[in-house]
């Protein structure tokens, strides 16, 4: 599943291509995604200008000219493709975990503009679209989620207070979207390695200086991943055909049995299943 950096790369790609463009037509070929696409979806978008593409956590937000919104969550296998009119695209994928070439079998939604269209393709159909009529409802839609790591609300007072008297381990907390939004399995492992914390550490035992390092390293890892175009675990490419490069910087993720990359550490990267998710860590420097 794409995490915050990959969704941000998609946002940046789409924003360059469809910002300030007017929707001419919408075609829904299959409404049966994770949630059924509303039957007024086509008319909701038709004739509206895309003011900008925004993002919160792992959600793409299409900000429309009538101050309404369309949300898109890519789920496990959703990809967004950009197709130019009267031009054969060699690379269409702006998204994650799929072929860069447009696979037509699972094209569920097309949003058509004057000179191009975007196509939503999703073999497993865990992604979804959602329409929201105003800003207050948009805020309410995300009210159950924690702040993003980049937001000022994700600070020492917030983190330390949240952890107080909690028995859950730190890895599970980093994956808990009610605590912090946008971090997934890949980056949780990388953040904990950088912070030198064992993934099983109970959060109530974490001192303030460790909490401060978690905050700092969450921002650092995610920003680095965004700047490197995300992590290409399979065939992630943006609409310029460039792959993400952050996977070349993995310190622990998918490095089971290899030597720790930390200077002067002789540890070995181990893999452990925590809450049904693969977790990677150094058996020496992550205490």
pLDDT digits 0-9 by tens, 151-165: 999 999 999 999 999
Measured between alpha carbons, how far is 93 from 96 in angstroms, rounded to an integer?
Answer: 8
Domain boundaries, the chain: 4-141, 156-282
The one catalytic residue in 11, 48, 55, 58 is 58
Closest by Cα among 37, 36, 34, 16 to 26: 37
Measured between alpha carbons, how far is 204 from 166 in angstroms, rounded to an integer?
Answer: 5
**58 is annotated as an active-site residue:** yes
Residue of higher predicted confidence among 239 and 209: 209
Question: Is 198 in a helix, a strand, or coil?
Answer: coil
**3 is annotated as an active-site residue:** yes
Residue 249: pLDDT over 80: no
The one catalytic residue in 21, 24, 31, 277 is 277
Tens-digit pLDDT profile for residues 42-81? 999 999 999 999 999 999 999 999 999 999 999 988 889 8
Tens-digit pLDDT profile for residues 81-131? 888 886 666 666 776 545 666 667 899 999 999 999 999 999 899 999 999
For 8, how many CA atoms within 13 A lie in the half-sphere containing its CB? 21
Judged by average pLDDT, the poorest of 133-137, 235-239, 273-277 is: 235-239
Fold of 4-141: N-terminal domain of MutM-like DNA repair proteins (3.20.190)
**2 is annotated as an active-site residue:** yes
**277 is annotated as an active-site residue:** yes
Give the CATH number of domain 156-282; options: 1.10.8.50, 1.50.10.100, 1.20.58.100, 3.40.720.10.
1.10.8.50
- pLDDT score for 13: 87
Question: Is 207 in a helix, a strand, or coil?
Answer: coil
């Amino acid at each position: 599943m794409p995490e915050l950096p990959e969704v941000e790369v998609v946002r940046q790609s789409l924003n360059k291509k469809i910002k300030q463009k007017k929707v001419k037509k919408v075609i829904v070929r299959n409404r049966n995604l994770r949630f059924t696409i509303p039957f007024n979806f086509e008319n909701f978008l038709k004739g509206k200008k895309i003011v900008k593409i925004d993002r919160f956590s792992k959600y793409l937000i299409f900000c429309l000219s009538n101050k309404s919104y369309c949300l898109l969550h890519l789920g496990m296998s959703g990809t967004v493709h950009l197709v130019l009119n009267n031009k054969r695209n060699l690379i269409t994928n702006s998204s994650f975990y799929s072929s860069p070439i447009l696979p037509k079998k699972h094209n569920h939604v097309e949003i058509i503009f004057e000179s191009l269209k975007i196509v939503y393709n999703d073999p497993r159909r865990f992604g979804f679209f959602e329409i929201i009529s105003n800003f207050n409802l948009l805020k309410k839609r995300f009210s159950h989620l924690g702040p993003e790591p980049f937001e000022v609300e994700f600070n020492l007072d917030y983190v330390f207070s949240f952890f107080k008297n909690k028995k859950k381990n730190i890895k599970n907390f980093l994956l808990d979207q009610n605590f912090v939004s946008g971090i997934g399995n890949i980056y949780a492992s990388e953040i904990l390695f950088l912070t030198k914390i064992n993934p099983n550490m109970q959060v109530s035992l974490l001192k303030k200086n460790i909490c401060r390092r978690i905050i700092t390293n969450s921002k650092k890892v995610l920003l680095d991943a965004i700047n490197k175009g995300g992590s290409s675990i399979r065939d992630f490419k943006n609409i310029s055909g460039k792959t993400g490069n952050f996977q070349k910087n993995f310190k622990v993720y998918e490095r089971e049995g290899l030597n720790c990359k930390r200077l002067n550490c002789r540890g070995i990267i181990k893999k452990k299943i925590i809450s049904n998710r693969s977790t990677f860590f150094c058996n020496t420097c992550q205490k």
